[in-house]
């Protein structure tokens, strides 16, 4: 399944997000779903058809609001498949084009896959990226990195969705992005075993860990942080993809699916510059290993998110001189794509006046 928060493009300001599931199967010629199922409209229809559903299941008893609300009821992402299959059918043609439960992607705005994550742990798990960072310092990767999936906690108050603008924070002249895989925890857990910890993941998404490189240079020598270099924005989206959609891309011996991760910057003059190309399968640690570390002696909560860390070449700090030749600036649009997870697009704008 692909799950998203949506609202109509012409909806009034402050209109609530609605939860929708993609009806189109992904294809190489059309990787972005064009038809979405409004899950609350579909739920009401199914209950009207069979009242026993509401009696037997909390999924059908209460309105479908947001994914945050769904998880707070103790339900997992996969439970939503009962609604999708109930309306679309497991193998049938599904609802017609005039069905009021069907939404056209062209009429929609998409929000973050999770609106208010209670925590965000960002890991540092791609060796090529880590090696590049230590090469810049003239050093070697510390030995513990090869034994321990390390992470830092980032800010959850500035989560952005697809097409939401990002700007350089105060005092920053070197705005950068970092292309990562994001994962959503959808069930409480503690002390997970790395071998089966991925069972608590409800889905994956594209994640951009924005970085103010000049602020970061000031913070890191103090051995605390990063802080203001990172906390001003994190973009996630465009939707959540459940793990079963990626199972056939798994490679024996690899830590993750063999799915391409690429980035492109489109400048204000329309010029497009490919920035990076990597693969999820090159990650040194699996999400199971990351979750094993994250959950040690700690209760993970449904709705928490993790970032994989930056894929090799997946930021300007690594490849700026060979590609764009500068940092991001107002007028640019960044497109981050992970195969099967979609493309996360972000316009860069001038910092708004407060």
Looking at residue 30, what is its pLDDT? 64
Domain 120-347 has CATH 3.90.850.10: yes
Looking at residue 13, what is its pLDDT? 84
All structural domains of the chain with their residue ranges:
2-109, 120-347
Q: Above 90 in pLDDT, residue 223?
A: no
The residue among 161, 129, 342 whose CA lies nearest residue 246 is 342
Helix (H) / strand (E) element for 342: namely strand 342-347
What six digits make up the tokens of 139?
């050093």
- pLDDT interval class at 92 (50, 70, 90): very low
Q: Which residue has the higher pLDDT, 112 or 24?
A: 112
Q: Which residue has the higher pLDDT, 91 or 66?
A: 66
Looking at residue 225, what is its pLDDT? 77
Percent of the chain at pLDDT > 70 equals 96
d(CA 142, CA 336): 29
At residue 299, what are phi and psi to the nearest 5 degrees? -80, 115
Question: Strand 305-307 vs strand 120-123: parallel, antiparallel, or unpaired?
Answer: parallel
Alpha helices in the chain (DSSP H): 39-49, 52-56, 58-61, 67-72, 81-88, 127-137, 213-219, 287-294, 316-319
Percent of the chain at pLDDT > 90 equals 87
Looking at residue 91, what is its pLDDT? 46
Look-up of token digits 């084009």: 97
Q: Above 90 in pLDDT, residue 77?
A: yes
Buried residues in 139-150 as b, exposed as e (16+ CB within 10 A): eeeeeebeeebb
* Lowest mean per-residue pLDDT among 11-15, 164-168, 243-247: 11-15
Q: Above 60 in pLDDT, residue 90?
A: no
d(CA 2, CA 242): 7
Specify the pTM. Answer: 0.95
pLDDT digits (tens, 9 = 90+) for 303-331: 999 999 999 999 999 999 999 999 999 99
């Amino acid at each position: 399944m692909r799950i998203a928060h949506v609202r109509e493009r012409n909806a009034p300001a402050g209109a609530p997000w609605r939860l929708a599931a993609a009806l189109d199967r992904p294809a190489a010629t059309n990787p972005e779903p064009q038809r979405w199922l409004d899950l609350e409209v579909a739920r009401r229809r199914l209950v009207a058809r069979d009242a026993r559903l509401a009696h037997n299941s909390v999924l059908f008893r209460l309105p479908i609001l947001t994914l945050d609300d769904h998880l707070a009821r103790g339900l997992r992402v996969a439970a939503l498949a009962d609604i999708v299959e109930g309306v679309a059918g497991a193998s049938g043609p599904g609802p017609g084009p005039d069905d009021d439960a069907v939404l056209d992607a062209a009429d929609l705005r998409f929000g973050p896959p999770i609106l208010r994550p209670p925590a965000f742990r960002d890991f540092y798990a791609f060796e090529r990226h880590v090696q590049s960072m230590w090469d810049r310092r003239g050093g070697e990767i510390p030995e513990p990195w090869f034994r321990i999936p390390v992470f830092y906690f980032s800010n959850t108050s500035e989560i952005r969705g697809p097409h939401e603008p990002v700007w350089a924070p105060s005092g920053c002249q070197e705005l950068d992005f970092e292309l990562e895989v994001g994962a959503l925890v959808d069930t409480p857990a503690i002390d997970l075993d790395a071998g089966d910890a991925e069972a608590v993941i409800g889905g994956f998404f594209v994640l951009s860990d924005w970085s103010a490189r000049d602020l970061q240079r000031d913070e890191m020598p103090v051995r605390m942080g990063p802080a203001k270099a990172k906390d001003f924005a994190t973009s996630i989206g465009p939707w959540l993809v459940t793990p079963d959609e990626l199972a056939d891309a798994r490679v024996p011996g690899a830590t993750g699916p063999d799915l391409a991760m690429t980035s492109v910057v489109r400048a204000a003059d329309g010029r497009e510059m490919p920035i990076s190309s990597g693969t999820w399968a090159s990650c040194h640690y699996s999400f199971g290993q990351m979750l094993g570390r994250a959950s040690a002696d700690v209760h993970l909560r449904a709705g928490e998110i993790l970032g994989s860390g930056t894929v090799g070449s997946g930021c300007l700090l690594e490849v700026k001189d060979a590609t764009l030749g500068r940092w991001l600036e107002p007028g640019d649009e960044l497109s981050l794509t992970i195969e099967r997870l979609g493309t996360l697009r972000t316009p860069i704008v001038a910092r708004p006046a407060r």
